Amino acid sequence: MTLKEINHVVTRSGRTLDHPDVEIPVAKDLTTVPGIPKRDKDVAFYTRNYPLETQAIEKAADREWTWTVYTGEMYEYRKHHDEVNKPLIEAALVSGDVMPEVSPESGKDVTEEIRSKARELGFGEVGFTKYDRKYTYKSKKGWVKYEHAICLALEQDYWQTQTIPSMEAEFAHFGTYEDEGRLAIDLADYIRSLGYKAQIHSPNDNSAAYIPMFVEAGLGQLGANGQLLSPHFGSRSRIMIISTDALVTYDKPVDYGIHKFCEECQVCVNRCPGRALVKEKVWWRGAEKHKLMYDRCRPVMATYEGCGVCMLTCPVQRYGMPSVMEHYVETGEILGKGTHNLEGFEIRGKGYFGPGELPSFSRDFFDIPHGTKEEWLFEQFKNKLAENGESSTEDAEEFAGQLSEILKENRGFDAGL
Ligand code: SF4
Ligand code: SF4
């Protein structure tokens, strides 16, 4: 006997190739639309007038600052990761120019061949959709070559992730990116062996906002934590895309009930140490979603090993979507909500926080650099002028020198270097 009426049941493949298919019951009161509520005209308007840009450029000032608040161990590990990752990013950048050495079999749809190969390689979620240029970053517009997107999610280790925030969890986070970068090269080679082209969109040098395409491909829905919640591991995965000209069939968006479920759950919103997540959804760039407050999140993330409490305390991450949705249908309750098992976390130097408890931070803690590097440099120069009433020739020369360095760096970025 279930408490809630079931509207529909979603059937998905098992977590790995060795696991059977799973069924996810979606309660009637959680039903909204497949994917995400969208106003296509608004999405198009924002794309045309306010194109998206990568945080690597738009938020470059705080990204650089991040390195100054890392612990020694984190600093060394990030340096190591960047070195390991560099050749993978470089290989991805030129992957779209590598030509297949064979011709494709005429008229043959290769969707299932590619999906099987990707699952065999270890990707936990694989979906096909149009590579939607509306989500492409301004600086990548001329780079993207092919029209179909293969959306790929690689699961991050379960137990390491449950230690968030910690170095152990960061090993899982960055280690998964490294594995994913290598697996993508193998999958792109496989696509070329079928006679088609393949361009790797690195998870560390993103060409676009990837989540909307994953939602369109039916691999999950957007959670209140701002992350893709997929059936088996919630947001405990790293996502990337391979675009291709192969003959493929698109998957369809799915209503897993998450859009409504998050309104009931709210665990991540209540547990976020930075108070960066918001209760209510807003319409943002044409989609109805919970919008994270970046400036409240970033200082916590940078200081405490990537934070990730919003990933940790999400029941879908912890218990998987089938168990969470079955529990909701049977009891009308959110699995794990209010328990130490789901909601407890520890912050280095601040202690353990159980349900209803959060750490506090001083106002200064949230005072970080904003915007691009040039915007931040200008802001500092302006403040100096306001303080001193005038600028010395040395100040002006220093400003000009630093600005020209930044512009040189930006030109390298535009050229994909
Ligand atoms: S990473 Fe931490 S601070 Fe940022 S939104 Fe998630 S829980 Fe909040
Ligand atoms: S913790 Fe709850 S509200 Fe937050 S993303 Fe997960 S399911 Fe949604």
CA distance 350 to 216: 41
Tell me the ligand closest to 343's alpha carbon: 2
Could you tell me the pTM of the whole model? 0.93
The closest alpha carbon to 22, from 152, 149, 125, 131, belongs to 125
Please provide the DSSP assignment of 178-202 as one string: HHHHHHHHHHHHHHHHTT--EEEE-
What is the reported pLDDT for 402? 79
Tell me the ligand closest to 234's alpha carbon: 2
Residue 273 Cβ < 6 Å to ligand 1:
yes
pLDDT-derived band at 1, boundaries 50, 70, 90: low
For range 159-163, the mean pLDDT: 98
CA distance 331 to 183: 41
Residue type, 50: Y
CA distance 360 to 352: 12
Nearest ligand 2 atom to the CA of 229 is 5
For range 209-233, the mean pLDDT: 97
SS3 217: coil
pLDDT-derived band at 217, boundaries 50, 70, 90: very high
The two three-digit tokens of residue 218, written as one number: 């039916």
CA distance 292 to 313: 16
For range 205-215, the mean pLDDT: 97
| Residue nearest (by alpha carbon) to ligand 1 atom 4 | 297
What is the reported pLDDT for 411? 67
For range 337-342, the mean pLDDT: 98
User: Taking a C-beta distance cutoff of 8 angstroms, is the pair 23, 320 a contact?
Assistant: no
Longest C-alpha distance within the chain, in Å? 80
Strand 351-353 with 148-155, pairing: unpaired
What is the reported pLDDT for 413? 56
| Strand spans (E) along 68-195 | 125-130, 148-155
For range 108-120, the mean pLDDT: 98
Residue 311 Cβ < 6 Å to ligand 2:
no
| Cα distances (angstroms) measured from residue 193 to each of 110, 131, 246 | 12, 21, 11
pLDDT in tens, 183-206: 999 999 999 999 999 999 999 999
Residue 149 Cβ < 6 Å to ligand 2:
no
Residue ranges of domains in the chain: 1-370, 373-414
The two three-digit tokens of residue 12, written as one number: 């998905």
The two three-digit tokens of residue 23, written as one number: 């069924």
Q: Is the pLDDT of residue 6 over 70?
A: yes
The two three-digit tokens of residue 212, written as one number: 């909307």
Q: Is the pLDDT of residue 171 over 50?
A: yes
The closest alpha carbon to 148, from 250, 239, 240, belongs to 250
Q: In angstroms, what is the span from residue 403 Cα to ligand 2's centroid?
A: 42
